[in-house]
Chain A
Amino acid sequence: MNNSVESRDTSNPLLVVQEVNKSFGGLTALSRVSLQIQSNEIFGLIGPNGAGKTTLFNIITGLYSADGGEVNLAGQALLRCKPHVIVQHGLARTFQNIRLFANMTALENVMVGRHVRTHRGVVGAIMRNTSTRKEESAIRAQALQLLDEVDLATAAEHLAKHLSYGDQRRLEIARALATEPKLLALDEPAAGMNPSETLDLQQLLRKIRASGITILLIEHDMRLVMQLCDRIAVLDYGKKIAEGSPAHVQQHPLVIEAYLGGNLA
């Protein structure tokens, strides 16, 4: 792997989350959470169940509106943007509870991911002129290549709903990659995977980072997080209680307390 932690430019973060607040009725899901993610790092976001990790994802990807704060991606303000605009700016995600297009094939799922980077409309579709045909075959080719990268080429024509759990998780990653993100946000990608699948996932994420994409990772599998992430932030009850290298976080008393009884290593 050619990228190294040291060579990153820390003065120019890719994603800046500043003082984000969110509450649901009386429940404070996030309180003044701030993060900075550097270009091309793998950043882990951990915390006990209900800590607010997914809520933060939903806010930075525009699915929920924040009660306050700011989010910037490469200098672009994201709050108050529609989800599809945020994807355009270069942030793509996967979902904790897999949300594939169940009755579309794996290939079509990834092809939908190309939507945001392609342009032909109704007239082109009806006329099927050269530029539309070209674009369409490019979409296909790129989608197939992405499927191949996540090891799903043989399942291209299978309906998403008939894939195994692990395959579905990787298909979601391929679909997100198809949008050409700068930052890829993964919500528990290893959930439901067996150890060997998790190992493959680890390789895959390294490969993705090597291709120049920054990764924000929510994960409960501590071994994966500790091995993979450059830096980690820990949320508990909506507050950031620690941030730093895996070693630092592992030693942190607040983190140990939050995970009391949980297995951190």
Chain B
Amino acid sequence: MRPGLNKLQTGWHALQRDRRSVVITWLALGLILACLPFLTELSLGRSWVRILDFTLLYIMLALGLNIVVGYAGLLDLGYIAFYAVGAYLYALLASPQFGLHWPVWAILPLGALVAGVFGVLLGAPTLKLRGDYLAIVTLGFGEIVRIFLNNLNTPYNITNGPQGISQIDPIQIGGIDLHQTQHLLTLTIPSTHLYYYLFLIFTLLIIFVSIRLQDSRIGRAWIAIREDEVAASAMGINTRNIKLLAFAMGASFGGISGGLFAGFQGFISPESFTLFESIIVLCMIVLGGMGNIAGVILGAILLTIFPEALRYLGEWQQLLLGRVWVDPNDLRLLIFGLALVLSMIFHPAGLLPSTRRARELHARRSILAQEQDSLYEQQR
């Protein structure tokens, strides 16, 4: 056997083994994700399953913001407004507020669409602004939306003002009410678990879309704009449209998660959509690793769980010092702010930096060589 062929064969075996281990990894991951709510309930209690549900909502939000900030490099400080749009749309169309009770499958796509339109409306006049101006304008936009939500109870009562909207219809899918405990054979599935599975499906969908976009002509254009807007336009990219697209995509992710949030909570009020929510989502992607899907997911998980873990700080204080000196809740934002500053100064790439560097380090020679070969093949 010639050495070249030999090498090729071992390569093939390696690939086979690779493929098998990939399949096994995915199966294991799937199994863990499927059992996660039950495992969580067993080990930490029911309330942690709720936290799990919120984690998924935040992952969706963070992935949406990641398209705007991570890919296209546009600092949007009013992102939570799109979440609010999705949530209020759901609340208005499925609650006693107007006596409407639309089904979920009609509201969620509409929510994505309306939020996307809001994204375009905000973006169209502002996207030609320089980065720091854009940050401030989006911040203003987020506040404007919140102020309207707070005040649109007079003269006509639309949003019910600061009281918010309650008695929102629970999410129903195929006749299954997600607010009710369900029984499947011998298995009892509580409501929190049901929502977990629903959110998981949407999260996976959003991850899928993010990945697909990232490796596409559009994704490349986003990153090019982030890297150098002038060069991007000089290479024929219509920067305004492509940025608008990023805004619309990010906003629609926010709209979907907002709708899910409203159905899950059954109650929403303007208080859930403050500037600080926007900042927390920003924190997630900055700390996790801007532009990298896995990093963003990690950031969202850590920052959702972190405040919960912080609660123990209160108990420890009680235990060690005899009283609670500092309410751990008050420390939350302080720590987030510090984390933003410190990570930008010391580790701007985040916990899981974008894979680009890793890819460069292990340049996949083989694939490249193959592609070149086939290229020469074609030319002949």
Contacts and interface: CB of A to CB of B under 8 A. Distances in A.
A175 interface: yes
Contact of B212 (A99, A116, A121, A125): A125
Contacts of A111: 220
A63 B212 CA distance: 32
A20 to B, nearest CB: 18
B224 A101 contact: yes
Given A101-B224, A115-B221, A144-B372, A157 B363 contact: yes
A186 to B, nearest CB: 13
A175 B232 CA distance: 11
Interface stretch (A37-45, A135-143, A225-233, A241-249): A135-143
B231 A179 contact: no
Which interface class (under 10, 10 to 19, 20 to 34, 35 or more) fits B? Answer: 35 or more
Given A140-B371, A157-B368, A158-B360, A116 B235 contact: yes
Interface in A64-99: 82-84, 87-88, 92-93, 95, 99
Interface in A89-130: 92-93, 95, 99-105, 108, 111-118, 120-122, 124-126, 128
A21 interface: no
Contacts of B217: 114-115, 118, 120-121, 125, 135-136, 139
A179 B233 CA distance: 12
Given A104-B223, A135-B217, A144 B234 contact: no
Interface residues of A, number: 51
A9 interface: no
Given A116-B235, A144-B371, A105 B360 contact: yes
A159 interface: yes
Nearest to A142: B375
Given A118-B217, A120-B217, A125-B217, A103 B356 contact: yes
Contacts of B363: 157-158
Given A105-B356, A139-B217, A128 B233 contact: no
A93 B219 contact: no
B251 to A, nearest CB: 13
Nearest to B216: A125
A84 B237 contact: yes
A207 interface: no
A187 to B, nearest CB: 11
B221 A112 contact: yes
Nearest to A127: B212
A116 B363 CA distance: 27
B218 A122 contact: yes
A153 interface: yes
A148 interface: yes
A131 B357 CA distance: 30
Interface of A: prevailing SS? helix
B360 A63 contact: no
B218 A101 contact: no
A122 B245 contact: yes
A136 to B, nearest CB: 7
Nearest to B367: A157
B227 A115 contact: no
A125 B217 CA distance: 8
B212 A126 contact: yes
Contact of B227 (A102, A140, A144): A102
30 contacts: A82-B233, A83-B233, A84-B238, A92-B236, A99-B230, A99-B231, A100-B227, A101-B223, A101-B228, A101-B231, A102-B228, A111-B220, A115-B220, A115-B221, A115-B224, A115-B235, A115-B236, A116-B236, A122-B213, A122-B218, A122-B249, A125-B213, A125-B216, A128-B212, A136-B217, A141-B371, A144-B372, A157-B360, A159-B356, A159-B357
Interface of A: 61, 63, 82-84, 87-88, 92-93, 95, 99-105, 108, 111-118, 120-122, 124-126, 128, 132, 135-136, 139-141, 144-145, 148, 153, 156-159, 162, 175-176, 179
Given A92-B236, A115-B235, A140-B371, 17 more contacts: A84-B237, A93-B234, A99-B230, A100-B227, A101-B223, A115-B217, A115-B236, A115-B237, A116-B235, A125-B217, A132-B216, A144-B372, A144-B375, A157-B363, A157-B368, A158-B360, A159-B356
